[in-house]
Amino acid sequence: MTAQHILVPTDLSADADDALEYAMQLARTLQARLTLLHVIEPLVVGSIDALPATFLQDLEAKITDIMASSHARVTAAGIPCDYTIVHGVPFQVIIEMARTAQADLIIMGTHGRTGLRHVLLGSVAERVVRLAPCPVLVVRAPHPPAPAAQ
């Protein structure tokens, strides 16, 4: 494998953080650079007017802080890195970013949903695996998913 540019999409979850750790280890070994990506999904709200005027600004500011912190962690480890935050449908943005950034590899986490939750919520990772222009490494968290509420 000769990956020089690794795209690491993150939904800011613990599973995505596990994938970032894996990506950092691989980037060190391959002397590759990382691009961290977070996609802000369109809001599905009955009435956007019901939200405070600053809701989206506050959300973007928090996401930016988290992404900047992840970026700092990667660069402190001596790995070249950049990050971007984009609005859109996650799997579509990830695939387009992989194309435009000419990523050699995508490394992403998965929540490991099964059954009805998988059918209803779908899987971003599954769609990316099927449609990506480059290899995709899906990192399953070492910890089991929390049991569904009954």
The confidence score (pLDDT) of residue 145 equals 54
pLDDT-based confidence at 41, cuts 50/70/90?
A: confident
pLDDT-based confidence at 116, cuts 50/70/90?
A: very low
The confidence score (pLDDT) of residue 125 equals 86
Look at residue 142 and tell me whether its pLDDT is greater than 50. yes
Look at residue 74 and tell me whether its pLDDT is greater than 90. yes
Q: Which residues lie closer than 8 Å to 109 by C-beta, 6 or more apart?
A: 10, 11, 13, 15, 16, 17, 18, 19, 125, 138, 139, 140, 141
- Average pLDDT value for residue range 114-129: 64
Q: Which residues lie closer than 8 Å to 135 by C-beta, 6 or more apart?
A: 104, 105, 106
pLDDT-based confidence at 55, cuts 50/70/90?
A: confident
Look at residue 114 and tell me whether its pLDDT is greater than 70. no
Residues facing 37 on adjacent strands: 9, 84
Which CATH architecture is the domain 13-40+53-89+103-140 placed in? 3-Layer(aba) Sandwich (3.40)
Residue 82 tokens, joined:
């950049």
- Average pLDDT value for residue range 38-54: 73
Domain segments of the chain as ranges: 13-40+53-89+103-140
**What is the pTM assigned to this prediction?**
0.84
Residue 129 tokens, joined:
């695996």
**CA end-to-end span of the chain, whole Å?**
44
Rounding to the nearest 10 degrees, give the CA dihedral for residues 142, 87, 115, 139.
-20
